[in-house]
Structure 1
Amino acid sequence: MSDRRTINRRHFISTNATGLSGLALALWVQQQAVQANPKKPDLVQPTFDAVPKAPHRFGQAKAMISLWMQGGPSQVDLFDRKPELERLDGETFPGEVKYDNAAQASSKILASPWKWRRYGESGMELSELIPHMGSIADDITLIRSMRTGVNNHGQSIRAMNTGTTIAMQPALGSWFSYGLGSATNSLPSYLALIDPGQLPVDGIANWNNGYLPSVFQGTVIRPTEPRILNLTPPKRLAGKPQQQLLSYLERLNQQHLSKKPGERDYQARINMYQLAARMQTSAVEAMDLSQETSETKKHYGMDDPDTKDFGARCLIARRLIERGVRFVQVFTQNQFWDHHGRIRTSLPAACKKVDKPSAALVSDLKRRGMLGETIVHWGGEMGRLPVIQNDTGATNVGRDHNTNGFSMWVAGGGFKAGHVHGMTDEFSHQAVEQIVNHYDYHHTLMHLFGLDHQRLTFEHNGRSRKLIETDKSQLVTELIA
């Protein structure tokens, strides 16, 4: 055995000597070149701020408002009518179903109990529960083939909002703020308008900057006054005394920073102090709804207790975008659409709260000539299954999670209008045609903003990080006008 190895070794060396010597020579030449021209390390630390930045190429979209429906609105009952469900209502589902809550699961088909209607010139078919959204059918693209494939709230929220199921990664708004900056120096580039109820699943991580500099973190707008805390100075400090204090603080901060160059978080904190000072007037003005006409406030449903809160936040979102904010996210409360039970009463109540304000936002942006450059997104992290959960009586039934085929809509910013994209199977269970994964959606958003998903990167722990870190993403050209 050893003789064979010796012969093989000798044979290998004799037959490959030329190749090995050539390889050695090439490596030696490369080493000499490196030694002669060593690459100098970049000792200049980059600075990060929210000043306006040019996109990689022309992008029609300049801003975005995401109406985030946390919990999973039922596409089966709102956006994706299936006659087969109506025909087989109450019968056994003819296939395999993946449940999140197996203890309460059943395989009994549940058809939508609500009527459907076609809206607009596009003839888009929507539920009677969302008539106001029906009024903007010719302005939106309805995507009926969304998919994340991860069947719980936290992971699917992260997939839709950060591009990954890993916790504490940069949110979509943080990426757009990092890539494009803000069109105003008196307001943050990314704002989150939270619900009066509980924070959504994952809490403050929904507007987290992750490994991006903290200047790109979302700023929270509270649902009640004061909508941003600590903006109003004490009377004894208002005016000139405050200006003198801020000027002195600025000098101290800059002196300290000069001794600690490259401290990104420290630089971001200085920038935030400066921004907070400017926000004392600009933010208060931006959220002062007394400047709006009674007609506009009524248009958003602020005259109705059921729609007043969400309507006010949608109206504030429009005002923020008008003033140069890049990304605004309006959240519903924790599990607002998570109808595992009592869907016959809970779903109409949820629709009542958001239907009119959501449609009003789109129509108001259009009337003001802003919709062409502003993307509006409406949707959540998942949809619902076509079978009954909690089969303990007609009033108690609900639907379990479904992330393999759900619906959402987008409008403006270069998306098609009056368009329906994709299809689920005959039960609204699985997306089967023109599937849009979360990373395809992000790819398309970035394209409309003029951002190259491969070039928008951030160096972190020796890695070049991106919003889309899979090579599977595709630009969904069928969504683009």
Structure 2
Amino acid sequence: MNEITRRRLLAGGARGFGALALQQLLSADAAKPQLPNFPPKVKRAIYLHMVGAPPQQETFDYKPTMKSWFDKDLPDSIRQGQRLTTMTSNQSRFPIAPSVFNFKQCGQSGAYVSELLPYMGKMADDIAIIRSMHTEAINHEPAMTFIQTGFMIAGKPCIGSWIAYGLGSMNRDLPTFVVLNATHSNPKANVQAISARLWSSGFLSGQYSGVALRAAGDPVLYINNPDGVPPEVRRKMLDGLGQLNQMEFDRLHDPETRVRIEQYEMAFRMQSSVPELTDLSKESEATYKLYGDDAKKPGTFANSVLMARRLMERGVRFVQIYHRGWDVHGNLPEVLPSQCKDVDQPSYALVQDLKQRGMLDDTLVIWGGEFGRTIYSQGKLTDKDYGRDHHPRCFSLWLAGGGIKGGTVHGETDEFSYNIVRDPVHVRDLQATLLHQFGINHETFTYKYQGLDQRLTGVEKASVVNGILK
């Protein structure tokens, strides 16, 4: 009779759990619907997230009647007892703060766009503006997590990971999902912290997580060989490591071991693909003129969106760009113009550049924050200075590209930009629409986890926003 030692018992148990994990992975893959479910409108997407929440009253939701309400209290009939943040809930007054910035009607659509965004105004007929976005989250952390993952608590896969999992790669030498963190120019801007949880693959395999490209140093950590290590030595080392990992997989059947093997191989291929990708020296002067002078400065928003276009050209499916500094609780008239200047021309340039290259028809561009801002001022209010608190009840966002009906303004808020009065769009509706443009039915695109058929849009009702689609 063979003696059962502690080591053998633990090894046997590990193999058993590994087999269960592999069985769950294989069953989830087998249950995944064949994608796309129907002919897609787009192959790839660029999501421009303005971290901190741009105020809709200063960007796309024009409220001229508020001029006569300066410093008057927000009526209780408008607030309707709705939840406030702790930053303003103890205020004795809620004084109306009309925007100090002007708007004008733009394009054939006549959409109102702020003077702070003149370039976006020039492309009013290319974009669909949604003025009736809303969410339940009232603070940045849960709100960003919600709009990116469909859940307010971290741990679920983000949109880019769902797309990578469902549709796979179009370029074996680059990641399917790439993340860029852009700098902001105003040192007085209130900056929200973000972390890799926003581009995590959650319960999906680690291979579907976003890969963050850095603006300084090596674009990806440890992508280059150490000094004195030639490529052939690196190749030999990876071959040996691959054999060890394969032995580990054969013993424990842990699917993440397979992922590790594939990621090492991807990293080796990226040693050739990434330097070419990040070398912008061959871009024309006409391109730099289109994107603006900041496009030559690594890490800026202009540089990041130009990099996103290059990633799209090379077959990356999903690019997420974060631009921070939009949390305008105070000094709004001083801080907001520089925030808008950072992103206005580059966002316009991205859409026009994609159009000129024949790529806009199958590329989706999304621009927006995680919630809106209050019409009343947080703290002091003067005719030249004010700030706005968080407001989940309504905010504005725009989309452009494949299948989007340019020149559309969807949804409407009341005269205070406080409540939605027509065509509300929940963040889940936005997620359902993004998947729909990729040819994916959000209700059937699921992954079995913890005994549930998990999906990006959750269990509550979500609808495709047909009003902005061709």
Q: Same fold (TM over 0.5)?
A: yes
User: Which residue is 2:215 aligned to?
Assistant: 223
**CA–CA separation in structure 2 for the residues paired with 1:307 and 1:356:** 17
* Matched residue SS, 1:194: strand
User: Which residue is 1:154 aligned to?
Assistant: 141
* Matched residue SS, 2:448: strand
Q: How far is the alpha carbon of 1:116 from its aligned partner?
A: 0.9
User: Which residue is 1:357 aligned to?
Assistant: 346
Q: Aligned to 1:248, which of 240, 253, 259?
A: 240
Q: How far is the alpha carbon of 1:42 from its aligned partner?
A: 9.4
Counterparts of 1:21-100 in structure 2, within 5 Å, are 43=23, 46=26, 54-95=35-76, 96=79, 98-100=83-85
Q: Deviations over 1:152-187 (max 9, x none)?
A: 111111221111112221111111111111111011
Q: How far is the alpha carbon of 1:239 from its aligned partner?
A: 2.6
**CA–CA separation in structure 2 for the residues paired with 1:399 and 1:45:** 46
Counterparts of 1:145-224 in structure 2, within 5 Å, are 145-196=132-183, 200-224=192-216
* Matched residue SS, 1:325: coil
Q: How far is the alpha carbon of 1:345 from its aligned partner?
A: 0.4
**CA–CA separation in structure 1 for the residues paired with 2:358 and 2:142:** 37
User: Which residue is 1:237 aligned to?
Assistant: 229
The alignment covers a number of residue pairs equal to 435
Q: How far is the alpha carbon of 1:439 from its aligned partner?
A: 0.7
User: Which residue is 2:301 aligned to?
Assistant: 310
TM-score normalised by length of structure 2: 0.88
Distance 1:45 1:134, change over 3 A: closer
* Matched residue SS, 1:68: strand
User: Are the aligned partners of 2:294 and 2:303 in contact in 1 as well (CA < 8 Å)?
Assistant: no
User: Which residue is 1:297 aligned to?
Assistant: 288
Q: How far is the alpha carbon of 1:412 from its aligned partner?
A: 0.6
Distance 1:294 1:105, change over 3 A: farther
Range with greater deviation from structure 2 (159-168 or 70-79): 159-168
Letter in 1 for 2:229: L
Q: How far is the alpha carbon of 1:281 from its aligned partner?
A: 0.8
Q: How far is the alpha carbon of 1:411 from its aligned partner?
A: 0.4
Q: How far is the alpha carbon of 1:211 from its aligned partner?
A: 0.7
Distance 1:423 1:245, change over 3 A: same
**CA–CA separation in structure 2 for the residues paired with 1:170 and 1:64:** 17
Q: How far is the alpha carbon of 1:200 from its aligned partner?
A: 4.7
User: Which residue is 2:266 aligned to?
Assistant: 275
Q: Aligned to 2:410, which of 421, 432, 439?
A: 421
**CA–CA separation in structure 2 for the residues paired with 1:388 and 1:42:** 54
1:387 aligned onto 2:376: yes
* Matched residue SS, 2:169: coil
List alignment gaps of at least 5 residues for structure 2: 1-20, 185-189
**CA–CA separation in structure 1 for the residues paired with 2:108 and 2:330:** 36
Q: How far is the alpha carbon of 1:302 from its aligned partner?
A: 2.9
Range with greater deviation from structure 2 (236-245 or 356-365): 236-245
User: Which residue is 2:99 aligned to?
Assistant: 112
Distance 1:422 1:69, change over 3 A: same
**CA–CA separation in structure 1 for the residues paired with 2:298 and 2:64:** 32
Identity score, percent: 37
* Matched residue SS, 1:146: strand
User: Are the aligned partners of 2:28 and 2:448 in contact in 1 as well (CA < 8 Å)?
Assistant: no
User: Are the aligned partners of 1:48 and 1:268 in contact in 2 as well (CA < 8 Å)?
Assistant: no
**CA–CA separation in structure 1 for the residues paired with 2:102 and 2:162:** 40
Q: Deviations over 1:275-318 (max 9, x none)?
A: 00000011121121112112212211135899981110000011
Letter in 2 for 1:91: K
User: Which residue is 1:348 aligned to?
Assistant: 337
**CA–CA separation in structure 2 for the residues paired with 1:90 and 1:471:** 39
* Matched residue SS, 1:99: coil
User: Are the aligned partners of 1:307 and 1:356 in contact in 2 as well (CA < 8 Å)?
Assistant: no
Distance 1:304 1:240, change over 3 A: closer
**CA–CA separation in structure 1 for the residues paired with 2:221 and 2:299:** 22
**CA–CA separation in structure 2 for the residues paired with 1:124 and 1:463:** 43
TM-score normalised by length of structure 1: 0.86
User: Are the aligned partners of 1:306 and 1:353 in contact in 2 as well (CA < 8 Å)?
Assistant: no
Distance 1:226 1:151, change over 3 A: same
Q: Which has the larger Rg?
A: 1
Distance 1:232 1:362, change over 3 A: same
Letter in 1 for 2:462: S
**CA–CA separation in structure 2 for the residues paired with 1:453 and 1:411:** 20
Letter in 2 for 1:218: G
List alignment gaps of at least 5 residues for structure 1: 1-40
Range with greater deviation from structure 2 (219-228 or 444-453): 219-228
* Matched residue SS, 2:409: strand
User: Which residue is 2:279 aligned to?
Assistant: 288
Q: How far is the alpha carbon of 1:383 from its aligned partner?
A: 1.3
**CA–CA separation in structure 1 for the residues paired with 2:370 and 2:103:** 24
User: Are the aligned partners of 1:140 and 1:411 in contact in 2 as well (CA < 8 Å)?
Assistant: yes
* Matched residue SS, 1:134: helix
**CA–CA separation in structure 2 for the residues paired with 1:468 and 1:308:** 32
Letter in 2 for 1:295: A
User: Which residue is 1:130 aligned to?
Assistant: 117
Distance 1:106 1:280, change over 3 A: farther
User: Are the aligned partners of 1:302 and 1:308 in contact in 2 as well (CA < 8 Å)?
Assistant: no
Q: How far is the alpha carbon of 1:451 from its aligned partner?
A: 0.7
Letter in 1 for 2:306: L
**CA–CA separation in structure 2 for the residues paired with 1:250 and 1:307:** 35
Counterparts of 1:314-333 in structure 2, within 5 Å, are 314-333=305-324
**CA–CA separation in structure 1 for the residues paired with 2:234 and 2:296:** 40
**CA–CA separation in structure 2 for the residues paired with 1:142 and 1:438:** 14
User: Are the aligned partners of 1:443 and 1:468 in contact in 2 as well (CA < 8 Å)?
Assistant: yes
Letter in 2 for 1:46: L
User: Which residue is 1:430 aligned to?
Assistant: 419
User: Are the aligned partners of 2:105 and 2:111 in contact in 1 as well (CA < 8 Å)?
Assistant: yes
**CA–CA separation in structure 2 for the residues paired with 1:76 and 1:391:** 18
Letter in 2 for 1:234: P
**CA–CA separation in structure 1 for the residues paired with 2:344 and 2:322:** 14
**CA–CA separation in structure 1 for the residues paired with 2:62 and 2:203:** 42
Q: Deviations over 1:76-95 (max 9, x none)?
A: 11101112212322222223
User: Are the aligned partners of 1:302 and 1:309 in contact in 2 as well (CA < 8 Å)?
Assistant: no
Distance 1:308 1:352, change over 3 A: farther
